[in-house]
């Protein structure tokens, strides 16, 4: 999980895109699988560094959300949580209605304005998610669907524009208050990057490895040929120095990725190709005895 913006962080802190450890095992049981098939791609059942980084960031964001007053928490969940429920919407609606100042207003207008407050939340939610904010026609349609009162769009500027502007401004202010502690977490975490902090606290390492392998696939054959030609051109002494560097590289790589190299080989094509060429060159110089069936 990357901490890019307060809105994005709120949403992703309450959402896990990958199956849990037990869910991965349960899926295999449903399929009646025992053991592992060579080359099979299966969900990782390890709590990798990437997942731990996600859990850390999500925990910090959730803790920041917990510092808000309860109504503001529900307001933020109504806008950004992937698991928002009816209680979140109801409390958010009530909070906007109790906060907005409409000034002098007739009872009939206040009844319509009450439902406009809910429409303003929906409009704001659309706007912050990259869609268009609601116009007068959409608001009028919403009020009619929910309350049964017809409002004239032709007289919007005269009768309802000021009321809608006051409600929308209130939603903006409440949104800013709700996001403030989450934004503070993002600033604090950004200050730690580069001061000895692991890059996997910012980037999901499994996604990075997957993207790197996809990019490598386009040049894989050329890379293997180029590496082989460079090694063949080395003398034995230079080649043995390369063997030594490769052993250090392989040990470090296995220490970082562990069994994921076997469980998800598609993520580790660069490593596997280098390892394969290592054994090819060792056989070529006679360091390994080739077994013939």
The reported pLDDT for the residue numbered 41 is: 54
Q: How far apart are CA 259 and CA 257, in angstroms?
A: 6
Global model pTM greater than 0.85: no
The reported pLDDT for the residue numbered 291 is: 43
The reported pLDDT for the residue numbered 211 is: 79
Radius of gyration of the chain (CA): 29
How do the pLDDT tens digits run along the chain, 293 residues long? Answer: 677 788 888 888 887 655 555 555 566 666 665 555 555 555 554 545 666 777 778 888 899 999 999 999 999 999 998 888 999 999 999 999 999 998 888 888 899 999 999 999 999 988 888 888 899 999 999 999 998 888 888 888 888 899 999 999 999 999 999 999 998 888 877 765 544 454 545 556 666 777 788 888 888 999 999 999 998 898 888 888 999 999 999 998 888 888 778 877 888 889 999 999 998 888 888 775 544 33
The reported pLDDT for the residue numbered 290 is: 45
**DSSP character string of the chain:** -----HHHHHHHHT---S--HHHHHHHHHHTT--S--TT------S--HHHHHHHHHHHHHHHHHHTS-HHHHHHHHHHH-TT--HHHHHHHHHHHHHH----S--HHHHHHHHHHHHHHHHHHHHHHTTSPPP-HHHHHHHHHHHH-----STTHHHHTHHHHHHHHHHHHHHHHHHHHHHHHHHHHHHHHTTTT--GGGTS-HHHHHHHHHHHHHTTHHHHHHHHHHHHHTS-HHHHHHHHHHHHHHHHHHHHHHTTHHHH-GGGGHHHHHHHHHHHHHHHHHTSSPPP--
Q: How far apart are CA 191 and CA 187, in angstroms?
A: 6
The reported pLDDT for the residue numbered 139 is: 92
């Amino acid at each position: 999980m990357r901490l890019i913006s307060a809105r994005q962080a709120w949403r992703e802190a309450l959402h896990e895109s990958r199956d849990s450890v037990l869910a991965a095992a349960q899926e295999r049981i449903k399929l009646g699988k025992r053991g592992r098939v060579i080359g099979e791609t299966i969900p990782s059942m390890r709590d990798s560094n990437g997942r731990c980084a996600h859990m850390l960031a999500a925990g910090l964001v959730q803790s920041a959300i917990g510092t808000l007053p309860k109504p503001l928490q529900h307001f933020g969940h109504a806008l950004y949580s992937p698991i928002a429920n009816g209680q979140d919407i109801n409390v958010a609606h009530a909070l906007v209605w109790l906060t907005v100042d409409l000034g002098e207003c007739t009872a009939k207008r206040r009844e319509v304005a009450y439902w406009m407050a809910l429409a303003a939340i929906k409009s704001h939610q659309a706007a912050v998610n990259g869609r268009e904010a609601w116009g007068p026609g959409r608001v009028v349609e919403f009020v009619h669907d929910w309350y049964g009162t017809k409002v004239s769009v032709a007289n919007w500027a005269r009768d309802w524009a000021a009321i809608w502007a006051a409600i929308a401004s209130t939603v903006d202010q409440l949104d800013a208050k709700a996001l403030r502690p989450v934004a503070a977490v993002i600033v604090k975490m950004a200050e730690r990057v580069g001061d000895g902090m692991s890059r996997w606290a910012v980037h999901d390492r499994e996604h990075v490895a997957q993207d790197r392998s996809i990019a490598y696939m386009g040049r894989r054959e050329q890379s293997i040929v180029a590496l082989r030609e460079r090694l063949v051109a080395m003398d034995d002494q230079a080649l043995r120095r390369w063997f030594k560097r490769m052993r250090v590289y392989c040990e470090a790589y296995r220490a970082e990725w562990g069994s994921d190299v076997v469980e998800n080989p598609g993520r580790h094509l660069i490593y596997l190709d280098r390892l394969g060429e290592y054994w090819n060159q060792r056989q070529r110089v006679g360091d390994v005895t080739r077994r013939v069936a």
